[in-house]
Amino acid sequence: MNFPFLSSLILLPLIGSFFILITKPGKNTNNKSAKYVALFTSFSNFIISIYIWYIFDPHIFDFQFVENKSWINGFINYKVGIDGISILFIILTTLISPLCIISVNNTVTNKLKEFLIAILVMESLMIGVFCSLDLVIFYLFFEGGLIPMFLIIGIWGGSRRVYSAFKFFLFTLLGSVLMLVAIISIFWINGTTDIVELYKTGIHVKYQYLLWLAFFSSFAVKTPMWPVHTWLPDAHVEAPTAGSVLLAAILLKMAGYGFIRFSIGLFPVASEYFIPLIYFLSLVAIVYTSFVALMQDDMKKLIAYSSVAHMGYVTLGIFTMTQQGLEGSIVQMISHGLVSAALFLCVGVVYERMHSRLIASYGGIVSIMPRYAVLFMIFTLAAIGLPGTSGFIGEFLILMGAFKKSIIVATIATLGVILGAAYMLWLYKRVIFGKLNNIELIKMLDLNKSETFILVSLAIPTLVFGFYPEPLLNTIEVSINNLIDTYNYQISLIE
Amino acid sequence: MEYTLVFLPLLGALLSGFFGRLIGDRNSEILTSLLVSISAILSFIIFKEVTLNNYENNLVIFKWITSGLLEVNWSIKIDAVSSVMLVVVCFVSSLVHIYSIGYMSHDPHKTRFMSYLSLFTFAMLMLVTSDNFLQLFFGWEGVGLCSYFLIGFWFKKDSANKAAIKAFIVNRVGDFGFALGIFLIFYLFGTVNYDEVFSQIPQYINNEISFFYISLNAINLICILLFIGAMGKSAQFLLHTWLPDAMEGPTPVSALIHAATMVTAGVFLVVRCSPIFEYSQLALNFICLVGMTTAFFAATVAIVQNDIKKIIAYSTCSQLGYMFFAAGVGAYNVAMFHLFTHAFFKALLFLGSGSVIHSFKDEQDIRNMGGVWKKLPYTWILMIIGTLALTGFPFLSGYYSKDAIIEFAYMRGNFFGTLAAYIGIFTALLTAVYSWRLIFKTFHGSYENKNLKIESIHESPHIMVIPLIILAVGSAFAGYLFKELFIGPLSSENFWKDSIKFIIPLTTDHPPYWVIYLTPIIVVSAIPISYYLFIKNKSITLWLVNENKPLYKFLINKWYFDELYNYIFILPSKKIGIFLWKNIDVKTIDRFGPDGISSIIKKLSDKAVKFQSGYIYQYAFIMLIGFSALLTYLIIL
């Protein structure tokens, strides 16, 4: 097993984007060769990642496929490797990216080549985040992801794109700077930034609290947690569809992954100490943003706020430190990756036809777009967490885990289930059902082939994992077990 | 056999839903009806096996979720309780499928409708055959979803959409309790499988648990939480508001979902969990109280309603109340018996009213009907059989089950039981009055419809009448035939066995004679009285209405629950949403957060810009000041 699978996953999109760069700059609207190159690379990446999942051994908790090369001698190593947790996020990334590229077909007309390059670079960086085993490498990938996203919003966005792009950048950078400081301090304290080493040696308790807060500030913004969530609705509203999809499906997951890998893995004592804070912020996120989502008149904003609520469940689940809670969080993240991506694509479908994101401009389109209505319904139900969809597995496991820790927290979080149903069904009703009042809507065509393909390929895993989530749960079980054991061991050392 | 039974409706739903256009309307109607009918036949075979040969089975289909201690399978569990439910669900469902072929003949979306009906049947089967709480929850939400689809089936009607969402959300409030109940079960017992949970209950009867800083008995809390779920699904008092509105759906849907099957899922849950509920007298009393309140409340509202379907909907609500207080006094088998008989006559009444509505070209107001009994002879007779059975007319099915409820409640001997018996008797009177009011106003008296000529009223097609006849046979004889099996003195040992637990065995004593005879006498005498009030001498009812205006308004507005909920839940939620968004997100976080920071930076840089004016003399002046200041500093030092 010496083939550098992970490096090739990371490099392939970069190579692809290089080829796109040298394709002939044809007419912007019809840049077929660039599209094919992008599609080919991202799709081969998906196949490779599925193959990695297939040969991945879920019964050992050590990192697998580890590659370690010295980069700056004695200081930083390029070290990558995956465990049961990372592999799922990598597959999510490699699944979403080609779908994004297909969706670009219809939406982006301006500077298509550059857009595709941005998406591919983004894919590389995000895969890098999920498999880096060195803090510095992680930081590079993590922050590097900001740049293509910033460009995607700032160049291809809507009318207030510059404001949104800067807001996005300002928020995320603010948190990240602190994380950088923390990483440097870890190097001074422990003399290494190798995560596996750090897991073994542990970080001295007296430093943990400050370091935890520094990492937290970065992850909290990216998650996003209340009250640093306000960049997300703006970023989503202005971003082009593919940008929203990447943002919601993968970028937000980097924070959840970060919490699991770093906050809990490196600073267990501090994590235990800050649990009340996390619970409080998660509950506020769940209840507060659900109320806000209820009153939105812009579809994208509504879904953006619902993302905040869903990520609130994720952070809650992670810090329950129970098997159910953590596994639920990961399933919830995967599920939210599929569902929110699909919901933003659904909005994109009608936006592209009507150029309006306002709920009020739609209504009654089930009679002209039945196929769209069915798929939209599936994702709405998954967002509500109806049993039989992946959303249910995540939400229910998280709440079960939370109940073990605190009945009050679980009860308040369960309230979000009612509110979630309210805002999603109300959205669906106002867009899809009712009388066809807006005459212009009649001209809308039902989903074309590529749109159907994208949405169906997201609907299938959503439903399959709802009825049979074992592939996900099996993959993460051992890693999660190990994480909890180490965590409890470290806590017990203090007492 | 079990697999076939459960999955045929799913197959029908998928075929009709995805390939409906390919196979055509008529074919998909026949296909779905046929598949569900096969399920119905299989359900009878299983029921027979269970009754005669003590058949029991617990099949595992495949693993669903494993996470730590939590292990849940997709399963099919057959025992006495689930076999009764199988018969009810499959039998009514198959008749409703067939009936719908006629009823929906003018609708453009037949395949979609049939697909939903079959999907509902599947979800309901998953619910009743589950061997664990999680699959039960799956079925629970699944039937809720299909109910949502079917209430909002006519998606162009705004009222239908609103009713659909209302049904879903109110049910979610119930599910909130139900879900917490499941969490608590898992927390205490480390499993959600019925058998494993039930076997551990006796060890936990004294466990205390802190819920919002109040120490409560764990078993009590579990029972109350589960029952909140049951209240939502079975439209019990406080969570009942969705059921009358759900009548926006097509009438076959009302018959299947909102009368015979889905709404009885709450009763099923309580009966299924009898091994838990038996250990919580508090929860049983609560159930009893809620049940009798609902029975009484819904009956009072039903008396003044004018929409034919809403009357029957409130009647359903009221009858569900009976089932609950039967369970609340520990007579779970009697509750199941009433559930069983109720399915026949209530489905009959709904389908009958559907036939009336069909004949009147979608008219639902009974004030615009009347005098058509000769025009609709079959519907008329069949509806009368249904009404007789519902009111508990001697020797029809409702007589056996409803009177048994009242008798068992009375014989329970505690305060709640006795109270429930009295309320049950009084509600029986109300039931008779509103049911006969419906019959008389619809079929008798003078013809009141101004839009349709009486000549144009005609009987419904055979395909609609035949299911009614079958249901009428059930309504008439089901009580007599199954009385011994369900509630006879030996029913617990011979039929229910472990599926229902009785800690206090049900009494076999005879209740006093006045309890036995009072209800039938009231019920029979209510017929001529209603006839007099609603046909012969309408001035009395008018006088009553005019004399008691406030009471009448209170009743016709359904005790003002919708207005109340709108005022205390919906409007505040919207206000909170707007407030949090506009005032906190935009005016606080953004203003002092990113916008604040960027405006401070901008101000600072604006100030800094002023220094760089570009005028040499200003620079020279500043330099001079600086130089002199430095010089002064040095000199003084």
Highest mean pLDDT among A195-204, A360-369, B88-97, B456-465: B88-97
Nearest-angstrom CA–CA distance, B562 and B569 = 10
How many residues are there in chain B?
637
- Select from B72, B74, B183, B589 the residue whose CB has the most chain A CBs within 10 Å, as the one to mutate to test that interface: B183
Minimum CA–CA partner of A233 in chain B = B585
Contact A388 B172 (CB under 8 A): no
Give DSSP secondary structure letters for B521-577.
HHHHHHHHHHHIIIII-HHHHHHHHHHTHHHHHHHHTGGGHHHHHIIIIIHHHHHHH
Structure token digits, residue A492: 């017990």
Contact A328 B589 (CB under 8 A): no
Structure token digits, residue B495: 């039929």
Local structure of residue B54 (DSSP, 8 states):
-
- Report chain A's C-alpha Rg in angstroms: 22
From the list A159, A311, A156, A177, the residue with the least C-alpha distance to A232 is A311
Q: Which of residues 451-490 of A touch B (CB under 8 A)?
A: 467-470, 473, 477
Among the residue ranges A441-445, B40-44, B74-78, B324-328, the one predicted with the least confidence is A441-445
> pLDDT by residue (tens digit) across B604-629?
877 777 777 778 888 888 888 988 89
- List the single residue in B138, B165, B184 with the smallest CB-CB distance to A403: B184
Predicted confidence (pLDDT) at residue B577 exceeds the cutoff of 90: no
Contact A421 B168 (CB under 8 A): yes
Residue A246 sits at the chain B interface (C-beta within 8 Å): no
Inter-residue contact B144 to B165 (CB < 8 Å): no
Nearest-angstrom CA–CA distance, B227 and B267 = 9
- List the single residue in A324, A387, A470 with the smallest CB-CB distance to B70: A324
Inter-residue contact B519 to B406 (CB < 8 Å): yes
Inter-residue contact B80 to B50 (CB < 8 Å): yes
Residue A161 sits at the chain B interface (C-beta within 8 Å): no
Contact A230 B574 (CB under 8 A): no
- List the single residue in A381, A404, A469 with the smallest CB-CB distance to B145: A381
- From the CA of A310, how many Å to the nearest CA of chain B? 17
Contact A408 B212 (CB under 8 A): yes
Contact B161 A433 (CB under 8 A): yes
From the list A156, A150, A314, A286, the residue with the least C-alpha distance to A231 is A150
- List the single residue in B142, B158, B175 with the smallest CB-CB distance to A434: B158
> pLDDT by residue (tens digit) across A450-474?
888 999 999 999 999 999 999 999 8
Predicted confidence (pLDDT) at residue A395 exceeds the cutoff of 60: yes
Q: Which residues pair with B208 in a beta bridge?
A: B217
Nearest-angstrom CA–CA distance, B568 and A213 = 40
Per-residue confidence at B342, pLDDT binned at 50, 70, 90?
very high
> pLDDT by residue (tens digit) across A289-326?
898 888 888 888 899 999 999 999 999 999 999 999 99
Question: For the residues B340-369, what does the mean pLDDT come to?
Answer: 89
Nearest-angstrom CA–CA distance, A190 and A197 = 9
The number of C-alpha atoms within 13 Å of A232 and in the hemisphere containing its C-beta is 31
Per-residue confidence at B590, pLDDT binned at 50, 70, 90?
confident
- From the CA of B185, how many Å to the nearest CA of chain A? 10
Predicted confidence (pLDDT) at residue A338 exceeds the cutoff of 80: yes
pLDDT at B398 (0 to 100): 87
Highest mean pLDDT among A258-267, A434-443, B581-590: A258-267
pLDDT at A26 (0 to 100): 57
Per-residue confidence at A25, pLDDT binned at 50, 70, 90?
low
Minimum CA–CA partner of A380 in chain B = B145
Quote the pTM value. Answer: 0.90
Contact B161 A407 (CB under 8 A): no
Predicted confidence (pLDDT) at residue A109 exceeds the cutoff of 80: no
Highest mean pLDDT among A347-351, B62-66, B383-387, B632-636: B383-387
pLDDT at A7 (0 to 100): 85
Local structure of residue A77 (DSSP, 8 states):
E
- List the single residue in A403, A429, A473 with the smallest CB-CB distance to B66: A473
ipTM score assigned to the predicted complex: 0.89
**H-run or E-run covering B63:** strand B57-67
> pLDDT by residue (tens digit) across A243-255?
889 988 998 899 9
Largest CA distance in chain A: 69
What is the percentage of chain A residues whose pLDDT exceeds 90? 26
- Select from B581, B591, B592, B599 the residue whose CB has the most chain A CBs within 10 Å, as the one to mutate to test that interface: B581
Structure token digits, residue A228: 């640093």
Give DSSP secondary structure letters for A210-223.
HHHHHHHHHHHHHT
Predicted confidence (pLDDT) at residue A204 exceeds the cutoff of 60: yes
pLDDT at A27 (0 to 100): 55
Residue A166 sits at the chain B interface (C-beta within 8 Å): yes
Inter-residue contact B251 to B257 (CB < 8 Å): no
Predicted confidence (pLDDT) at residue A158 exceeds the cutoff of 80: no
Contact B594 A433 (CB under 8 A): no
Local structure of residue B107 (DSSP, 8 states):
-
Q: Which tops the pLDDT comparison, A269 or B598? A: A269
3-state DSSP helix/strand/coil % of chain A, to nearest 5: 80, 5, 15
Contact B66 A470 (CB under 8 A): yes
pLDDT at B347 (0 to 100): 92
Minimum CA–CA partner of B588 in chain A = A227
- From the CA of B336, how many Å to the nearest CA of chain A? 27
- From the CA of A277, how many Å to the nearest CA of chain B? 19
Helices (H) and strands (E) in chain A, counts: 21, 2
Structure token digits, residue A445: 């065509």
Minimum CA–CA partner of B108 in chain A = A367
- From the CA of B184, how many Å to the nearest CA of chain A? 7
Predicted confidence (pLDDT) at residue A352 exceeds the cutoff of 90: no
Inter-residue contact A75 to A188 (CB < 8 Å): no
Minimum CA–CA partner of A294 in chain B = B577
Amino acid identity for residue B333 in this structure? N
Predicted confidence (pLDDT) at residue B94 exceeds the cutoff of 90: yes
Amino acid identity for residue B575 in this structure? K
Q: Which residues pair with B193 in a beta bridge?
A: B132
Minimum CA–CA partner of A400 in chain B = B183
Nearest-angstrom CA–CA distance, B141 and B158 = 23
Per-residue confidence at B359, pLDDT binned at 50, 70, 90?
confident
CA torsion, ordered B362, B366, B371, B376, to nearest 10 deg: 40
- List the single residue in A166, A291, A328 with the smallest CB-CB distance to B577: A291
pLDDT at B394 (0 to 100): 87
> pLDDT by residue (tens digit) across B260-302?
889 999 999 999 999 999 888 899 999 999 999 999 999 999 9
- From the CA of A58, how many Å to the nearest CA of chain B? 14
Question: For the residues B413-437, what does the mean pLDDT come to?
Answer: 89
Nearest-angstrom CA–CA distance, B607 and A194 = 46
pLDDT at A228 (0 to 100): 85
From the list A299, A280, A291, A248, the residue with the least C-alpha distance to A420 is A291
Nearest-angstrom CA–CA distance, A7 and A12 = 8
